[in-house]
Chains A and B, each alone.
Chain A
Amino acid sequence: MTDVAPPTTKKDWSSDQEVRWCPGCGDYSILTAVQMLMPELNVRRENTVFVSGIGCSSRFPYYMNTYGMHSIHGRAPAIATGLAVARPDLDVWVITGDGDGLSIGGNHLIHALRRNVNLTILLFNNQIYGLTKGQYSPTSEVGKVTKSTPFGSVDWPFNPLSLALGAEATFVARTHDLDRKHMMETFRRAHEHKGAAFVEIFQNCNVFNDGAFEQITAKDNRSHMLIPLEHGRPIRFGPDGEKGVALDGQGRAAIVNVADVGEDALVVHDEKRPEPGLAFMLTRLSHGPYEPTPIGVFRAVERPTYGDQIQRQLLDAQSRSGPGDLAKLLSSGSTWEV
């Protein structure tokens, strides 16, 4: 891009609105990460739009000094699709949560992903309904006791990344709210991606689901519970890199001791594999935030975006039939003179 945006600071990207999340909420650090990243992206405030649904995370657009829409529950991906298709010149971000994006709005999310609409979608996963004061969500674990499930939830949860890969999203990543650097790097990659970029962020709701991710994201637990994915590198983790991911006899991804299988047996991470199968297996390594869990970019492949293809059809039509001529249109059926 030759266009160089004027330099900005975090402050330029912060609106004058008082941030109203609960003190200690993980949303704050995500907001800070985004506001700190924006000046590094060479983008303009006026060309940036944040679209959200309903929920705690969906208040996000009010705090960004950009264009923004706080829409209705679950519909942000659909609304943002219209905006991104109409205005390919804009940088459109979608802010959603596990209830907003995976429950009431699940349909729109999967369709935005399969169409590869040029959107950067950040899903704040706190595994609970915060704004409605603590009901279980579609990512809550089985047995979750909440106000609406006093005897424990019996719903099998969604794994957001498995879902996104099932929809053949072209960019799929995961990060968490306790690591600003990792968040910024992941968001930067998502923003760079042409097409639908889907990022799941483990986010702590300290009021209704405090510590949901602590077992894997707390500073002391990270090295043996988070599996960093780095393109072109063998997948290894553990304080001394003693663990890794290899394919077992049945072709399933499994966690192994590097000493047992040898370094060469480890899976070398490849974001660009055309088939989402292996990335999907990586999302299945952990069944909840209490087992070693991969983070980083799972998949980043190129496919024509929805908006570009629509744009191309418009241009083709114009070069084929010339720009629209209303009088010609009206007389395009069979006509007769009186």
Chain B
Amino acid sequence: MTVGGNSLTDTAEHPLQTLDRVVIRFAGDSGDGMQLTGDRFTSVSALFGNDLSTLPDYPAEIRAPAGTLAGVSAFQVSIADHDILTPGDAPNVLVAMNPAALKANLKDLLSGGTILVNVDAFDERNLVKAGYEANPLTDDSLAGYTVYEVPMTSLTLEAAKPTGAKPRDAERSKNFFALGLVSWMYTRPVEDTLQWIAARFAKTPTVAESNALAFKAGYNFGETAELFDSAYEVKPTHFDPGTYTNISGNTAIAWGLVAAGQLANLPVFLGSYPITPASDILHELSKHKNFGVRTMQAEDEIAGVGAALGAAFGGHLGVTTTSGPGVVLKSETIGLAVSMELPLVIIDIQRGGPSTGLPTKTEQADLLLAVYGRHGESPLPVVAAKTPSDCFFAAIEAVRIAVKYRTPVILLSDGYLANGTEPWRLPAVEDLPEISAPFTTEPNGTDAAGNPVYLPFLRDPETLARPWAVPGTPGLEHRIGGLEKSDPTGNISYDPANHEHMVRTRAAKVAGIAKDIPPVEVDDQEGAELLVLGWGSTYGSIGAAVAAARAGGRKVAQAHLTHLSPFPANLGEVLSRYRRVIVPEMNLGQLSRMVRAEFLVDARAVSKVQGQPFKASEIQAAIDEALESLQSEARA
């Protein structure tokens, strides 16, 4: 056995300890390839059969100054032998590729946790850049942790020697050394990663080779170095039988849109402008032209939604993807879609705001913007996804409502869901919901002289949706626009009573969708007086917190909203059953404000706006606090 050698050892000389869950954070410079490393570890663990959840966390700058705190990029992954809901509150293991990565992430590490550092990077210069006055590896400040100092850079250079690559280039393989080492520590299969390296770097054979050598060297280092007491295993989770894939929220949305287009038998048209963290949906959809998906990278956010609306007028499934700043720019066009009553799907991958805010960090502060953020009375349906894989179904639901009711629909996701991943059992295509989007092809009325005419605002009495006649249909030529329309001809009308009638009708149409969505389900507990109400990506943290609270003997009920406008028909009744409602959300209290206004209930926000998802423990603390205050009220 040679360190950094070419062969992999598989005789385990170290004892194997079994863990039920581990949380690992890979941290380094944004140029160090930490996202790739984390991603790769995730894929291997998924294939191995663990349940998992991931949290990428990277700076807005593509290459912030190397070695600084601002440039630290991290990827947290939790793997478990059981069903997990979150990427974990605190890592057990921190891989720190340089002092800045250590400094930025140490505070999150579980006390007593394990630190793997690339000791080669702990030189004077990097320590200064990270703001360390003394070397933390030598000054006892890490006494509470198990620290492994591994010369990753030099071992990588040594390993890559046979490739003849310049040290500068070879050094860049050090993330694969780290991956190899962690793969050994957690007994991950190696073949798959080696194949992946070969495929991924096929165009640059030298890079492929040095990555593979570094990976093997890292693995062998774990095996041979006398540093480690044991390796660990995390056994596969018990999953329902089926075919699984690991999916991120943005990919799930893109696939959901492709699926919805097929289900509705409408070609998908995406008009979009690049924006973090939504661009990956544009990238993914652009690959699927064989589904008839048209993607257009527009000149700006307004043109993106405008083109989508134009396509919708032409009978396509018009979609635009963006983040908060883009939604604001698109507002006027969304209002036009409200007024013209055309199907349109607007996808907002929320990020920290206001303004440019925190482009790469997550937040849920666009809820009020989505529900209310247009001029005039312009209600529209709002749907929110709760997990990465749920983004697939949420996209289909948004499309279903949009085409059935001829209305723009806003779908809310966020940076955490967009980039986070989880294993997903692939649904059977035949189990996906049907979407019906019939075009009107015949005149639906008569004029004063009794001639057949098309009345574009003659509504379906049940859904209040107007007919959808697309250009190319003879005899149904008509004009629509943003000016108020006369019911049912669609001609311009300034009549006061007609305006009030149209405003109320559009509102009634959207409100009526409540009859067409599932009631909110409560995960109740006998005797619970506290309800934790959530929406969107807090689902995992709330679920983990509620489970922990119950394990600790507390009585708590949980409900989670997918539909935020209109609310499910039973929501008011559900809320009235509990003495106290708390609403954890990554904003200063937007859903809580909405339910207070709508239902006159004492719903209290539990807020966090740090660009990071809730830790389960934070919500658990809020649950405890709410229960205590209920108790003390009862005593008083």
Which residues from A are CB-within-8-Å of B289?
313-314, 316-318
* Other-chain contact of A46, B240, B243, B299, B471 (Cβ < 8 Å): B471
* Other-chain contact of B294, A15, A61, A310, A330 (Cβ < 8 Å): A310
CB atoms of A71 and B336 under 8 A apart = yes
Which residues from A are CB-within-8-Å of B294?
85-86, 310, 314
Given A78-B306, A85-B307, A317-B290; A61-B481 close (CB under 8 Å):
yes
Given A46-B473, A51-B310; A17-B303 close (CB under 8 Å):
no
CB atoms of A82 and B306 under 8 A apart = yes
**Chain B residues numbered 289-303 whose CB sits less than 8 Å from any CB in chain A:** 289-294, 296, 298-300, 302-303
**Chain A residues numbered 285-338 whose CB sits less than 8 Å from any CB in chain B:** 310, 313-314, 316-318, 320-324, 326-327, 329-331, 333-338
- Asked if A44 lies at the interface with its beta carbon under 8 angstroms from chain B, I say yes
CB atoms of B290 and A322 under 8 A apart = yes
Which residue from chain A places its CB closest to the CB of B312 in the assembled complex?
A82
Which residues from A are CB-within-8-Å of B242?
337-338
**One of B9-17, B218-226, B314-322 contacting the partner:** B314-322
Which residues from A are CB-within-8-Å of B318?
82
* Other-chain contact of A331, B243, B312, B478 (Cβ < 8 Å): B243
Which residues from B are CB-within-8-Å of A338?
49, 239-244, 425
Bitwise, A20-54 to B at CB < 8 A (1) or not (0) is 00000000000000000000000011111101001
CB atoms of B47 and A83 under 8 A apart = no
CB atoms of A72 and B482 under 8 A apart = yes
> How many angstroms from the CA of A89 to the CA of B471 in the assembled complex?
10
- Asked if B559 lies at the interface with its beta carbon under 8 angstroms from chain A, I say no
CB atoms of B245 and A324 under 8 A apart = no
CB atoms of A330 and B306 under 8 A apart = no
CB atoms of A323 and B306 under 8 A apart = no
- Asked if A107 lies at the interface with its beta carbon under 8 angstroms from chain B, I say yes
CB atoms of A107 and B310 under 8 A apart = no
CB atoms of A324 and B292 under 8 A apart = yes
CB atoms of A78 and B311 under 8 A apart = no
CB atoms of A334 and B43 under 8 A apart = yes
Choose among B243, B293, B306 the residue with the greatest number of A CB atoms under 10 Å from its CB: B306
- Asked if A147 lies at the interface with its beta carbon under 8 angstroms from chain B, I say no
**Chain B residues numbered 104-161 whose CB sits less than 8 Å from any CB in chain A:** none
Which residues from B are CB-within-8-Å of A326?
258-259, 262, 429
Given A81-B296, A326-B429, A336-B47; A46-B477 close (CB under 8 Å):
yes
- Asked if A96 lies at the interface with its beta carbon under 8 angstroms from chain B, I say no
- Chain B: residues with CB nearer than 8 A to chain A? 43, 46-47, 49, 239-247, 251, 255, 258-259, 262, 267, 269, 271, 288-294, 296, 298-300, 302-303, 306-316, 318, 332-333, 336, 340, 425-427, 429, 471-483, 491-492
**Which range contains the number of A residues in contact with the other chain?**
35 or more
- Asked if A70 lies at the interface with its beta carbon under 8 angstroms from chain B, I say yes
Which residues from A are CB-within-8-Å of B255?
329-330
- Asked if A90 lies at the interface with its beta carbon under 8 angstroms from chain B, I say yes
CB atoms of B271 and A82 under 8 A apart = yes
> How many angstroms from the CA of A64 to the CA of B475 in the assembled complex?
14
Which residues from A are CB-within-8-Å of B478?
67-68
Which residue from chain B places its CB closest to the CB of A324 in the assembled complex?
B291
- Asked if A121 lies at the interface with its beta carbon under 8 angstroms from chain B, I say no
- Smallest Cβ distance from A177 to chain B, in angstroms? 23
- Asked if A193 lies at the interface with its beta carbon under 8 angstroms from chain B, I say no
- Smallest Cβ distance from A282 to chain B, in angstroms? 27
Choose among A47, A68, A83 the residue with the greatest number of B CB atoms under 10 Å from its CB: A83
Given A70-B480, A72-B482, A82-B271; A324-B288 close (CB under 8 Å):
yes
CB atoms of B245 and A331 under 8 A apart = yes
- Asked if A204 lies at the interface with its beta carbon under 8 angstroms from chain B, I say no
CB atoms of B47 and A334 under 8 A apart = yes
CB atoms of A83 and B292 under 8 A apart = no
- Can you list 9 A-B contacts with CB-CB less than 8 angstroms, sorted by A residue number? A51-B310, A64-B479, A69-B310, A86-B267, A310-B294, A314-B294, A318-B290, A331-B426, A334-B246
CB atoms of A81 and B290 under 8 A apart = no
CB atoms of B310 and A67 under 8 A apart = no
CB atoms of B309 and A47 under 8 A apart = no
- Asked if A159 lies at the interface with its beta carbon under 8 angstroms from chain B, I say no
Bitwise, A82-126 to B at CB < 8 A (1) or not (0) is 111111011000000000000000011001000000000000000
**Chain A residues numbered 200-227 whose CB sits less than 8 Å from any CB in chain B:** none
Which residue from chain A places its CB closest to the CB of B318 in the assembled complex?
A82
CB atoms of A111 and B472 under 8 A apart = no
